[in-house]
Structures are given as structure tokens and as C-alpha cells.
Structure 1
Amino acid sequence: MSMGVHRWISFSILMCSLVYDIDAKTLTCKPVIIIHGILDGRSEMEDLTSRMEQTFPGAPVHVINLFNYMESLRPLWQQVGAIRRDIKSIMNSADNGVNIIGFSQGGLVARGIIQTMDDHNVDTFIALSSPLNGQYGGTSYFRWVFPNIVKRNFFKILYTRYGQRWSIANYWRDPHHLDGYRMYSSFLAQLNNESVVEYNSFRNSWKTNFLRLKRLVLVGGPDDGVITPWQSSQFGAFDSDENVVPMRNLQIYENDSFGLKTLDNAGNIVECVIPGVEHTKWHGDATVFHKCIEPFLCDSK
């Protein structure tokens, strides 16, 4: 056998193995649903979508095209209801389940869908720099919506029935006014089982639904610059002195208020901390994708 023929056979075997690997990844990839963040739209997720399509050719990727830009300021329960209806057919056609990626505010929307959807089939939920346990920081997003109010006074507007018409108010968690948070927060306090208002009462099924997740991936980092504290992306929160209390030291964890402790004890929570990433860069950062997203989307058997 000539050297040229030998090289051709070796090359052919290599190419076949690569094609087989791609096909294997494609065949074992669940559909992925991506929910964009506040003041974003579908187009801002194109970098993530493109990277996923290159890495997993043929894998179904669905980017939500609802509540774009200014519409993203609508109340979160309204967004949860509409997006839940929008993705119902995707879930119904996915016999092996789906994965969800929620960026920033979109992670809270995804969490709301998962907890309130009794028949969801979400396998992995990746929360990409999302204020899962609230926001307390006068970032550019807040200053854009409320330009003349400083952080310490936000509660005066946000903890009112009028203020709760804005999505931002639905997860504003002021550590100096937690009574107001428990009284007026119509979304986060309800999901956390912390609301003291009867019509915002927590439903037992929400804990059951949350625990149907096979994996929860919490992505965030110290240089985010928007999520405050950044540890909220991993369910941390400020105490009254604005010291960060990590997830496992909070009452919602200790009391297993909605299933966080149970999920953690089962080994189903992954914490992925990446320094040096600004808030608007998470969905386009190669390191974030390869370390915190790619390993959890497909089974490359």
C-alpha cells in the first residue's frame, strides 16, 4: 500500500469520527429555549445562538421574541404567562425534555415559568447573570427608568401598587425595608415564599415543580457591574448592613422554602463563577460558554 493511499485512509477515518461525534451530540441535544434580559431583544442573543449552532449543529434553539426592549419593563407575571404559552408547543414536542437559558431578568422569568408550570419538562435551567434573589443597586438600568431617584429612596416608589407595574420593582429587594418587600413584591417575594399578602400566597406545587429540575446552573461573577449584589445570581443577598449573605446561610435555603436546599443536597446545583465579565458580555463570552453553558446542554455519548 502506497504512503498516499495510507494517508487518505487515515484522513477518511478521522473525518468519519468527527462527523460521528457531531451527529452524536446533535442526536442527544435537547431543544434549548433562550429568554433575553431587560431592555434587550431577540437580536441581542444572536451571539449565543450562533455559538450554540456552531458547537451543536442541528440542535434546536428557540429564542423568545416577546417583551423586547421597552416591553421588557412590563410586570413579570405578565411576561411569565405569555412566554409560558409561547413555549408550550416546544415542550410538548420534546419527548426528552428541554433546557432553558435565562439571561439577566430573563432568568427570573424562566424561574417563574419553571415554578408555576405543573407539566414543565425542563431538564437543565441555566441562569446567566440573573438577579435570582433580587436586586439592590442603582445601576444604569434603574437610572434610565428612574433618573431622579437615588438607590436608598427607590423603595418609596417600587414598594407601592403603582411601582409594581414595572418589572424592575418585582424583584427589588431592599435589605433596609424587607417589610415593604414582603408586603409589596408581587413576584420575587411570592416565588421565594416570603410574601405576607394572602393573594400573593405561595402554592405547594411551585416547590414540586422546581424540584423537577435535573440541574440548576448558576452563572455570575464579581465584575458584572449590574447585578447587585452579584451573588444574587447564585441566590445570595444583602443583609441590613449590606454584607453579602451566601445562599446556604439564608432562611429561604435553611427552610427549604421552595426547594433550593433539597435540589442542592441532591447534587443538582452547579455554581459557575467567572471573573472579568461585564453584564452585557455574558451571552457572547467564549469562556463563559465553554465552562458554564456547553457542558450542560448535550450528552455527547
Structure 2
Amino acid sequence: MHHPTLLALVSCALALTNASVLASNTPQFCGGDVPATDLSTSSPAVSEASTIAPTTSDVSISTPEVTDASTTAPEVTDSPSTAAESTETPASEAVVTEAPTSAPTATISSTSNLVDTGSVASDASDAVSSTSSLPVFYFHGIVGEGTAGDNIGRNLTAEGRVFVELTFCQNDCSIESLLTQVPLAIAQVRDTVANNSQFDDGYMFIGHSQGGAIARAVIEEMDDHNVRSLLSLAGIQNGIFTGPADAEAAAQAGAAWPNTLVPATVFNFSKYSHDDYFGQLQYDYAVFTEQNADVQYQYSQFNLARSPVHAEWAASNPFLPVINNINPCDTTDTQCLADQARRKANFLRLEAAHFFSSPGDGSVTPWKSSLLGQYSELDTLDQIITDFESLTVLDMTETLEYTSDTYGLRTLDERGGLFLHEAPDVSHSCWVRDESTCVFQPVYDEYIYPALQ
């Protein structure tokens, strides 16, 4: 297991993927408290925010000819760590269920004008060698679209790999609740692989930012998936909360971006002063989320927020506690317990899971959330104000999800399939494109490509 150090930052920025939005390097705010029911069985009432129709476009699947386009870029240094000892244990088999019904139809077409990527990193970082020719699905981030994965796609298709850019909920649609988006993603994946022999031996998922959370949710909820490896690039894996280490940056960044993702008519970030970012705003956001359960079915920001007050958060968020299998289940609730077992079995059908992040991310907070870390916990909501400065970031191995193996992290780690990759000075968007002084291609060569082998 690649195991990095922890840091306490948090300002909201679910995955910026759209080039017009991603140009900013300033941290964004999004914190708070969130509510929980079973993602696989919940049928939320659709609110006004859920009226944006999902967009469709061609899903590109190709084995193209290579054209030359060399680029030079500064080298990116690795943050090496060792993989866990392998003690192979078979994963449970999941029960196959029906696919969700409403999703855009994926059109399969060929790409052209693809680029020769030049040299690639030779260290495979213990990735499973048998996956080196598998097709790859790409999940974009918030306010993004499938084409955000073009740079990764050019690298892979240049060597004959199949690359699929998912389009189930692009641009403004991606701001909607993940309870809506995950079933759409499952349906499009199923539609793409149906009756197509290219996917018979399995496939891989890459998710950037919010797309990393969606990709993992699809794996856990799609009982008939054949995902061999997951790559989460700066993915929001363990929640977002603006803690003391990042409050200053969030205050300076201001309300413009947060109120793009959550309208001011729902929660007005702009009314908060600089000093309010050191506990008051986070307290208000947590209380608002707890008292307004409907927002969980409207905006993805509320699904991914993680209040440090665990009990209230786990009981009231219908997304993140559910895919983390820490949603409370009564001992007599056989369906809830069965769903937790099913999600864990589905996750453990993975051969490998790679989680990537950088202290220079500048968006996901804490940045260690992308490496399955989280903020420490408090007993009451009032302590968000009174004990705000006491909050620290926990490493993955200190979290309930890992220590109790709630959805299979520890098991996957013990059998040698869990990898955490910490890269220095890689900004949030640089995992998929050039951003400021960070250049995509060396990041791809050093980190992403080896995990795809």
C-alpha cells in the first residue's frame, strides 16, 4: 500500500473539470453535514434542481493510428511507498440485479488525430499486469464533460487501448444529486458493454474529482460489474470539509464558486465574513443540511460534505455514508445489512484500487480525502465553533472505514491490491490537463500510466 502523510485542509471544490472553470487555482469551499439511506434502494422525490436533463454525446471506442506530437515538460518527482504484503483472500460474489432504467444511450464511434505519447514510466507500481490491454472508462468531474478525459484517451488509444468517455450527466447536470447520477452511470456502462466482446475480459475505471466518487459508487452498486481496477485521480473519496488548515484560503477565495454549485437561494455563502470561515460558516452549513434533507436529492455538494459530527452525519446523508458502509443499520433490518454486504462484495471484486492526490491539489479539502483520509470527529455541532481549531486530519488507517473494514479497504490492502499515491506539486486539474505551471504529460507518465498496466 502506498501510504502518504496527512494534512488538514478543506475548502470546497468538488472536481473542477470544465476548462473555463478549472483555470482557477484557488481553493474552493464546501463543507458541512450530510444525511443516509441506502443508495441502491432510495427513490428520492425529484426537486426543482433535478430538472436538468442529462446530456448525451458519442462514447469513443477506438484503436487508432498514431500521429506524432511530442511535448516537453518538467519532470514530476514521485513520492514512493511500498505495497502491502499480499495475503490473497477471495472476494464474495455479488447477486446480480436489474439495471437502472433511465440513462442516455451511448454511441460507439472511432476517434481520430490521436497523439503519440512518447516515453512512459516503467515502474508499474505493483499494478496487475494482466490489465494492460483492458478497456478504460472515464468519469469526469463536476461541471465537466466526457471530453475532459481526452488527454488520457490520446495516450491510451495511441497504443491500441479502448477508451470510453462517459456522458451520462455532463456540465450543469453534474451539479445534481449523486443519487440521480449513479444510476445513470450504471445504465450507460451496462449499455456500452452489452454484446461487445471488447469488454468480455473486464475493464478499468478512471474517475477525476467528483468522478472518482461516482466511479466507486458504481462499482459498489453495480452487481454485475466486471471492473478489474479503479483509478481515482484527486477523487472526493472520504468527504469534504473546510477545516482550520484551509479556512484562510477558503475565506480569501470567497463565495463565487461555492454558490455556482449551490445557489445562493439555497445556501448563501456570500453573507459570511472572513472570520466566519473559522467555524461559524461550517456550523451553519451542517445545521442547514441536517434540517433540510431535501437538498441531498438536489445537489451533489451536500452528498459529499462530511461533518465532523459523525452520528448525525452518518444517519442523515443518503450517499457517502452509504457507499462507505457506515450508514446505521438496525440489527433487525435485514435489507440494510444485506445491502451493506452486497456493496462490500462488489468492491472486493476489484483486483486493484489506486487513489492519487497531492498536497498541491488546491481544491479537495482535506486533500487527504482523496487518499481516504478525513477530519477528526467532534461530539456535538456546537463544537464545530468552539473546538474548530482542534480538528486534525486522520490517515486512512485511522478511519472507521479502514479499521472496521466496512466496505473492504483493509481486506483489499491485506491482499496487496490497495495503493495510495501522493504526488508533490500536482494541482487538482493537472491529473487530466495542463494547469498553470503543472504539466499533464509527466504526471501521466509518472503516476497514471504505471497503474494502468
Q: Using structure 2 for the length normalisation, give the TM-score.
A: 0.56
Q: Are 2:446 and 1:291 equivalent residues in the alignment?
A: yes
Partners of 2:425 and 2:283 lie apart in 1 by 28
Of 89-98 and 111-120, more deviation after overlay is shown by 89-98
Count the aligned residue pairs.
270
Residues 32 and 98 of structure 1 are in contact (CA less than 8 Å); yes or no, is this contact kept in structure 2?
yes
Q: How does 1:1-301 map to 2 (within 5 A)?
A: 29-54=133-158, 56=159, 58-92=160-194, 93=196, 94-137=199-242, 141-146=257-262, 148-149=268-269, 150-159=281-290, 160-164=292-296, 165-175=298-308, 177-196=309-328, 201=336, 202-240=339-377, 241-284=390-433, 285-298=440-453
Q: Which residue of 2 aligns with 1:21?
A: none
Deviation of 1:151 after TM superposition, in Å, equals 3.6
Partners of 1:125 and 1:278 lie apart in 2 by 21
Deviation of 1:103 after TM superposition, in Å, equals 0.5
Partners of 2:282 and 2:260 lie apart in 1 by 13
Partners of 2:161 and 2:192 lie apart in 1 by 13
Q: What is the letter of the counterpart of residue 163 of structure 2?
A: V
Deviation of 1:288 after TM superposition, in Å, equals 2.4
Change (3 A) 1:153 1:197: farther
Residues 430 and 443 of structure 2 are in contact (CA less than 8 Å); yes or no, is this contact kept in structure 1?
no
Deviation of 1:236 after TM superposition, in Å, equals 0.3
Deviation of 1:81 after TM superposition, in Å, equals 0.5
C-alpha deviations, 1:211-230, integer Å up to 9, x for none? Answer: 01000001001010111111
Deviation of 1:134 after TM superposition, in Å, equals 0.6
RMSD between superposed Cα atoms in Å: 2.2
Question: Which of the pair has the greater relative contact order for Cα pairs under 8 Å at 6+ separation?
Answer: 2
Change (3 A) 1:37 1:116: same
Partners of 1:263 and 1:123 lie apart in 2 by 13
Q: What is the letter of the counterpart of residue 271 of structure 1?
A: L
Report the 3-state secondary structure (helix = DSSP H, G, I; strand = E; otherwise coil) of the residue aligned with 1:179.
helix
Partners of 1:190 and 1:49 lie apart in 2 by 31
Partners of 1:172 and 1:66 lie apart in 2 by 23
Q: What is the letter of the counterpart of residue 87 of structure 1?
A: V
Give 5+ residue unaligned stretches, structure 1. Answer: 1-24
Residues 91 and 121 of structure 1 are in contact (CA less than 8 Å); yes or no, is this contact kept in structure 2?
no
Deviation of 1:76 after TM superposition, in Å, equals 0.8
Of 73-82 and 88-97, more deviation after overlay is shown by 88-97
Deviation of 1:141 after TM superposition, in Å, equals 4.3
C-alpha deviations, 1:265-300, integer Å up to 9, x for none? Answer: 1110111111212112211222321122211223xx
Report the 3-state secondary structure (helix = DSSP H, G, I; strand = E; otherwise coil) of the residue aligned with 1:130.
coil
Q: What is the letter of the counterpart of residue 314 of structure 2?
A: R
Residues 261 and 299 of structure 2 are in contact (CA less than 8 Å); yes or no, is this contact kept in structure 1?
no
Report the 3-state secondary structure (helix = DSSP H, G, I; strand = E; otherwise coil) of the residue aligned with 1:162.
helix
Q: Which residue of 1 aligns with 2:5?
A: none
Partners of 2:315 and 2:257 lie apart in 1 by 24
Partners of 1:152 and 1:274 lie apart in 2 by 32
C-alpha deviations, 1:146-183, integer Å up to 9, x for none? Answer: 453334422233333122121111111011x3233112
Deviation of 1:129 after TM superposition, in Å, equals 0.3
Deviation of 1:143 after TM superposition, in Å, equals 4.2
Identity %, equivalent residues:
27
Q: Using structure 1 for the length normalisation, give the TM-score.
A: 0.83
C-alpha deviations, 1:251-274, integer Å up to 9, x for none? Answer: 111111110100001110111111
Residues 132 and 452 of structure 2 are in contact (CA less than 8 Å); yes or no, is this contact kept in structure 1?
no
Partners of 1:66 and 1:265 lie apart in 2 by 35
Q: What is the letter of the counterpart of residue 195 of structure 1?
A: N
Q: What is the letter of the counterpart of residue 155 of structure 1?
A: A
Identify, as 1 or 2, the structure richer in helix.
1
Of 105-114 and 70-79, more deviation after overlay is shown by 70-79
Of 245-254 and 201-210, more deviation after overlay is shown by 201-210
Report the 3-state secondary structure (helix = DSSP H, G, I; strand = E; otherwise coil) of the residue aligned with 1:272.
strand
Residues 183 and 196 of structure 1 are in contact (CA less than 8 Å); yes or no, is this contact kept in structure 2?
yes
